[in-house]
Amino acid sequence: MPATITEREGESAGSAIITNDFVIKFANVNGSGSASANSLFAKCVLRMGVPIAARNIFPSNIQGLPTWYEVRVSEAGWLGRRGGVDLMVAMNPQTWAEDVRSIGPGFYLFHDTTKPLPPSMARDDIHVIGAPLTRICNETYADPRQRQLFKNIMYVGALAHLLGIPTDTVERLLQEEFAAKPKLIDANLHAFHLGRDYAQSSMAPIRLRLSPADKVGDRIFVEGNSACALGAVYGGATVCAWYPITPSTSLAEAFTAHCKALRTDSESGKAKYAVVQGEDEIASIGIVIGAGWNGARAFTCTSGPGVSLMQEFIGLSYFAEIPAVIFDVQRGGPSTGMPTRTQQSDLLSAAYASHGDTKHPMLFPADPTECFEMGALAFDLADRLQTTIFVMLDLDIGMNEWLCAPFAWEDGKRLDRGKVMTRDDLGAGIDFGRYLDVDGDGITYRTYPGAHPNKGAYFTRGTSRDRYARYSEEGAVYTDNMQRLLRKFDTAKSLVPAPVRRDAARRTPYGVVYFGSTTPAMHEAIDALERQGRHVNALRIRGFPFSDEVFDFIRAHEQVFVVEQNRDGQLRALLINEGGVHPTRLTPVLHYDGTPITARFITAEIAGQMKSIETMPVSD
Amino acid sequence: MVFEKVAAVYSADGRRSLKPTGEPDEHYECDDVLVAVGQENAFPWIERDIGLDFDQWDMPKVDPVTFQSSNPKVFFGGDAAFGPKNIIWAVAHGHDAAISIDKFVHGQSVEDRPPPMVTLVSQKMGIHEWAYDNDLSNDVRYKVPLVDKDVALKDVRTEVELGFDRKLGYAEAQRCLNCDVQTVFSAPLCIECDACVDICPMDCITFTENGEEEALRARLNAPAHNTTQDLYVSETLKTGRIMAKDEDVCLHCGLCAERCPTGAWDMQRFTLDITHADHRCQQR
Amino acid sequence: MTYITKPKFRHPELEQNARGFTRRDYEGKVSTLCAGCGHDSISAAIIQAVYELDLEPHRIAKMSGIGCSSKTPDYFLGASHGFNSVHGRMPSVLTGANLANRDLIYMGVSGDGDSASIGLGQFAHSIRRGVDMVYIVENNGVYGLTKGQFSATSDRGSRSKRGVVNHDAPIDMVALALQLGATYVGRSFSGDKHQLVPLIKGAIAHHGAAFIDCLSPCVAFNNHEGSTKSYDYVREHNEAVNFLDVITGRAPIKLDQEAGALAIVEQHDGSTLRLRKIHTDYDPSDRVGAMAYLTERAAAGEIVTGLLYVDPNAEDHHDYLNTVEAPLNTLDSEALIPSASALDKINASLR
């Protein structure tokens, strides 16, 4: 059994070598070109077959503010954020105090020794190491920009020596990265060796080591946003309308890039897709709804503030029954909140978006693999259910590269366009009522504009209308329609992804429900709790509306922890509201400071809040 | 049954008569023969020396307005006057003949006939409510139900046409085009918004420059070829144009008046109060 | 307001177009707008234009926002799909619909509240993008459905029915459209179908963003003395620079001998615009000149109408995006879903 965080907790200075299980954090200045160096480091570790979890902690700023890159190295494969730092690469004087404070006792501070560390920062319980990066750079490079950029590669060189990264791994990665610009390969390699040589000649060995393992397998290292975008391509999306907003911007940009590669007509060179940067989120969702109404698969990607702006249109999509897909890459709210921090705090505003009685299906991917799958599935669901489908990811999944299972697709899979009456159907004289529930599942047939010369045309509107799309404010007609929409929502239960259950080794009255980016930390916490003799059954929710299985699980446990990353327990509120669950059964475990939730936090919360339950549950 | 073969022959004035063709008669075997008999006017019993003139068809010469014959004391009406027509005409003839007789016995000229009274009353009740039923039926004429053929053929005295029942009769009556309800236009009220033009199902309203009738007819939104039907032309409007309406195809649906924001169009019921043969016709 | 069904009877000699349709076949439901509303005349003009162009109704999509004007798509082209979206957002919905199927004709109908106030941004951006559409603003200078508040196109000094004077500067949609790069810009008046119908036909035939500002008096709230959007005021101040005659590609060009100055503009799609000029020095192919002229005449209190600007070689949003010829909504799984092996390559690049 590999080491887990519980064993490491409270560990202080020692002399034992720690292999493949530590956290290294890079503190940089935004805009200094550190990202590619840090990413190079992360990839080196992966190429050694050692799993990592990497997270950007960045400001809402382009240049000058502090930014961090945290790499958790875990041969055991724990991909949640651990908390704590074992090696701090402190390249930003502005955050020195904070950075030095976060280092665990007995661990390491790496800094640019060109300038001595201010005595006020000194801690006698940590090891201070470093290299005169600026001095070497200034001696080597004349151009100020090069001095800045190569300083980053130099510390990677130094770390490579200290931790044990083979040089050929670095070489291969640089060759792949700069295949198109061979000049840069040598320049980077040169800087890398400058750092490495210095460390070799002048630095003492440290206790942290990387050692080749075979624990990565065929897994890929990718951002959730890019995965969602790729899912949208495989899901047949042809129209993307979006408005730049952190943390969703890279989703639209990735869609454009993927489409360019995969959706350009080989003969004509023309695009089998259209991407429009809207003037705002309202226009973006408007374009999506216009395209969806007209039979194209369309989506927008946004974050909380965008969802707020889209409310009116989402209501239209619900009531007029127009397919749309919204990727909500959640960030810290409310208002502008913490634009570059993560949260799961849009559940309520998405689930019940818009005025009046509305409910919208949501999908909760837990990693980029699911981002891809659900990104494609969302379009089938939108067409099947003729409504807005939310894919609820967050900044943590969206903007960080995660180690996850490779994307998989079966050739021959067809787009499910849902209930559409064709020209032939209409020509055959089949009765067409746009809001006529012929199958009893609440889903009605639609026609695409222009389908038939004289049949199937109807007037789409956000006002109340009868089964044949004729304007009506008659109470009975209105309630008939609203009841059918409920039936449709009920049908959605069986269409959204089913929850995933993980049972404890022993029968237990304790359960936990969680979703999305909480998943890796949750798995680690369950493991830690088990070591403490605390057994919990776990249910990962993947879709809304909740299936019966979710409520059966809650009923089968005396105390159910609802772990989520917001202040108000939004998933818990949804469970109470939609399933009539008694609030006392659901114990909230809430993490909402904007950083990704950690296993340490969950473990402590659950251990602390566990009620003493004498009796085992009767049913399971 | 033996049939003589005949052919239709038309005289110079267009009258049709059937003349034997001279071909051999044709014989048809029948189970039943129903004999349909027409009727003909004939006045062999009127003495030909009482001052009553007869025409080439041996029918009395009758004035079409006064119904007076060439013998001033003798008046004709109904089928006796101008050949077979329906009962409505016969009643009308009676009314007009009665006026003539009234005048005649009072020693006045039968030619000097007081005109009938005409009234036009607005039918507007509310913003889109009319005192007449303006919702036109798109139905085609209903067939009058008939007695089953087997029954009808058994007894020649059986009444074959059953007539409309209440429901069918109502539906058939709904097909009435309300010809008595007229579109009446008041030029000073018109703001030339085109609402009436846009709504008219028959395209019979046009706003255009005034001119000679022939040219004007050609300028209408839809051609008005029936020159026996006068155009309804307004006074000159604010823009210098006139409103011209082709009455020939008007459905009297009143939509022009419903869509008129100023009441320039109104639907008014036309009532014809015919002259009666009594003291009232004397006074006028 | 009329609640009876418009009789199906039609004039026995009503002509049929090349598609075998009469003008009546292009009608929609009976309008529920107030009697005498200018908007109904614009609906009639649209019907006439589509009829004269021999278009099949189902090849047209009608889009609108919210307001009196936005209700009108229910009142014309009953055999076309229509979309009454949300307030001020018709342009984005139309843009999306157009992206999904470039083969249909998109008719966006909006009002001055819908497009000059709440939807000013969307109006601007749809024009900027060159969306291939006919964008008609039924401009009455007033909020009708909420009973008579001033709109953003109300002229300064215009008096409301209740006697309130408007002090805010008006937004000139035509000036905006010109500035934003519309490639077909016209202004007309609901009470003048001779000018309006050809202008709509030209806009339909135009490839690119076509905008028509159509003054359309509100009989209920803005047709009184003191209003600058009343039938009388508009008639008195209307300065037509030209009259348009649209000839489709099929029809031969006949030179009108009577016209003093005749301009023939060949459009991208082969259709021909024949302009009968009234102001001989007005050049509708000169965007800058048009802007200057309009500003000058507006200052003089005139309402300049006619075809004010046209770029016959305009491109549209699809041209800019370089999208395939086939409508995106017709692309099937084969065309849209990359292979599993393509995905394997992507996986390999992420290790």
CATH number at residue C225: 3.40.50.970
CA–CA separation, C10 and A346 (whole Å): 57
Q: What range defines the domain where residue C46 resides? A: 23-334
User: Within this chain, do residues A357 and A385 fall inside the same structural domain, yes or no?
Assistant: yes
What is the total count of domains within chain C? 1
Q: Is B266 on the interface with C (CB under 8 A)?
A: no
The residue of C74, C180, C316, C331 whose CB has the most chain A CBs within 10 angstroms, and thus the best one to mutate to test that interface, is C331
pLDDT of C179: 97
Task: Give the domain-ending residue among A496, A522, A552.
Answer: A496
Min Cα distance B187 → chain C (Å) is 15
The residue of C1, C2, C23, C234 whose CB has the most chain B CBs within 10 angstroms, and thus the best one to mutate to test that interface, is C2
Q: Is C5 on the interface with A (CB under 8 A)?
A: no
Q: Tens digit of pLDDT for each residue in B124-178?
A: 998 888 999 988 888 899 999 999 999 988 888 899 999 999 999 999 998 888 9
**Cβ separation of B222 and C14 shorter than 8 Å?**
yes
Q: What range defines the domain where residue B239 resides? A: 181-273
C-alpha R_g of chain A = 27
Report the CATH number at residue A300.
Answer: 3.40.50.970
Over residues C211-225, the mean pLDDT reads 95
User: Within this chain, do residues A394 and A250 fall inside the same structural domain, yes or no?
Assistant: yes
**Is residue C7 in a domain?**
no
Min Cα distance C242 → chain A (Å) is 35
pLDDT at C220 over 60: yes
User: Within this chain, do residues A479 and A549 fall inside the same structural domain, yes or no?
Assistant: no
Partner C, chain B 84-113, Cβ-Cβ below 8 Å: none
Of C2, C14, C36, the CB nearest to B191: C36
pLDDT at A620 over 50: no
**Is residue C9 in a domain?**
no
Q: What range defines the domain where residue A470 resides? A: 419-496
**Cβ separation of C5 and B135 shorter than 8 Å?**
yes
Token pair, residue A451, equals 């389908």
Q: How confident is the model at residue C255 (pLDDT cuts 50, 70, 90)?
A: very low
| Cβ-Cβ contacts under 8 Å, B253 against chain C | 4, 6-7
pLDDT of C261: 64
**Is residue B237 in a domain?**
yes
| Cβ-Cβ contacts under 8 Å, C78 against chain A | 457
**Is residue C18 in a domain?**
no
| Cβ-Cβ contacts under 8 Å, C86 against chain A | 286, 312-313, 316, 462
User: A540 and A515 in contact (C-beta within 8 Å)?
Assistant: yes
Rounded to an integer, what is the distance from CA B63 to the centroid of its chain? 20
**Cβ separation of A239 and C99 shorter than 8 Å?**
yes
pLDDT of C249: 55
**Is residue B151 in a domain?**
yes
Chains with ≥3 CB–CB distances under 8 Å to A: C
Q: Do chains C and A touch (3 or more CB pairs under 8 A)?
A: yes
Over residues C296-311, the mean pLDDT reads 93
| Cβ-Cβ contacts under 8 Å, B245 against chain C | none
**Is residue C344 in a domain?**
no
Report the CATH number at residue B263.
Answer: 3.30.70.20
DSSP string across A441-458 = SS---B--TTSSSSSS--
User: Within this chain, do residues B199 and B261 fall inside the same structural domain, yes or no?
Assistant: yes
What is the total count of domains within chain A? 4
Rounded to an integer, what is the distance from CA A290 to the centroid of its chain? 28
**Is residue C4 in a domain?**
no
Min Cα distance B239 → chain C (Å) is 9
What is the total count of domains within chain B? 2
Of B135, B192, B261, the CB nearest to C191: B192
Of A221, A279, A408, the CB nearest to C121: A279
User: Within this chain, do residues A269 and A358 fall inside the same structural domain, yes or no?
Assistant: yes
User: Within this chain, do residues B267 and B185 fall inside the same structural domain, yes or no?
Assistant: yes
Over residues A257-269, the mean pLDDT reads 97
User: Within this chain, do residues A451 and A564 fall inside the same structural domain, yes or no?
Assistant: no
Chain C residue closest in CA terms to B221? C14
Q: How many residues appear in chain A? A: 620
**Cβ separation of C35 and B259 shorter than 8 Å?**
yes
**Cβ separation of A46 and C351 shorter than 8 Å?**
yes
**Cβ separation of C191 and B193 shorter than 8 Å?**
yes
**Is residue C17 in a domain?**
no
Q: Is C97 on the interface with A (CB under 8 A)?
A: yes
Min Cα distance C47 → chain B (Å) is 10
Over residues C316-333, the mean pLDDT reads 97
Q: Do chains C and B touch (3 or more CB pairs under 8 A)?
A: yes
pLDDT of C185: 97
Report the CATH number at residue A544.
Answer: 3.40.50.920
| Cβ-Cβ contacts under 8 Å, A407 against chain C | 343, 346-347
| Cβ-Cβ contacts under 8 Å, C34 against chain B | 261
Min Cα distance B209 → chain C (Å) is 13
**Is residue A620 in a domain?**
no
Task: Give the domain-ending residue among A445, A473, A496.
Answer: A496
User: Within this chain, do residues A189 and A283 fall inside the same structural domain, yes or no?
Assistant: no
Of A269, A295, A414, the CB nearest to C100: A295
| Cβ-Cβ contacts under 8 Å, C13 against chain B | 222-223, 225
pLDDT at A1 over 80: no
Tokens 């200052």, located at residue: C299
CA–CA separation, B200 and B47 (whole Å): 60
Min Cα distance B142 → chain C (Å) is 17
Q: For chain A, give the percent of residues with pLDDT over 70.
A: 97
Q: How confident is the model at residue C253 (pLDDT cuts 50, 70, 90)?
A: very low
**Is residue C12 in a domain?**
no
**Is residue B68 in a domain?**
no
Task: Give the domain-ending residue among A160, A186, A209.
Answer: A209
Q: Tens digit of pLDDT for each residue in B187-224?
A: 999 999 999 999 999 999 999 999 999 999 999 988 89
**Cβ separation of C83 and A459 shorter than 8 Å?**
yes
Q: Tens digit of pLDDT for each residue in A511-532?
A: 999 999 999 999 999 999 999 9
Quick one: CA torsion of A508, A510, A516, A519, rounded to 10 degrees? -60
Min Cα distance C206 → chain B (Å) is 26
| Cβ-Cβ contacts under 8 Å, B260 against chain C | 35-36
Tokens 């707020």, located at residue: A308
pLDDT of C259: 47
pLDDT of C243: 86
Min Cα distance C130 → chain A (Å) is 12
Whether the complex's predicted ipTM surpasses the cut of 0.90: yes
Strand ordering across the sheet containing B181-185: B117-122, B265-273, B181-185
| Cβ-Cβ contacts under 8 Å, C161 against chain B | none
**Is residue C347 in a domain?**
no
* Long-range pairs, A104-113, Cβ under 8 A, ≥24: A104/A11, A104/A12, A105/A12, A105/A13, A106/A11, A106/A12, A106/A13, A106/A14, A107/A13, A108/A206, A108/A208, A110/A155, A110/A158, A110/A159, A112/A151
Q: Tens digit of pLDDT for each residue in A137-170?
A: 999 998 888 888 899 999 999 999 999 999 999 9
CB atoms within 10 A of CB A111: 25
Chain C residue closest in CA terms to B200? C6
CB atoms within 10 A of CB A608: 8
Of B128, B138, B262, the CB nearest to C3: B128
User: Within this chain, do residues A372 and A428 fall inside the same structural domain, yes or no?
Assistant: no
Query: For residue A334, is the peptide bond before it cis, meaning its omega torsion is within 30 degrees of 0?
Result: yes
Beta bridge partners of A514: A540
Inter-axis angle of helices A570-579 and A548-555, nearest 10: 100
Q: Number of B:C CB contacts under 8 A?
A: 97
CA–CA separation, A382 and A292 (whole Å): 9
pLDDT at A9 over 80: no
Q: How confident is the model at residue A61 (pLDDT cuts 50, 70, 90)?
A: confident
User: Within this chain, do residues A307 and A387 fall inside the same structural domain, yes or no?
Assistant: yes
Q: Number of A:C CB contacts under 8 A?
A: 229
pLDDT at A21 over 50: yes
User: Within this chain, do residues A443 and A545 fall inside the same structural domain, yes or no?
Assistant: no
CA–CA separation, A578 and A155 (whole Å): 53
**Is residue B284 in a domain?**
no
- What is the pLDDT of chain A when averaged over all its residues? 94
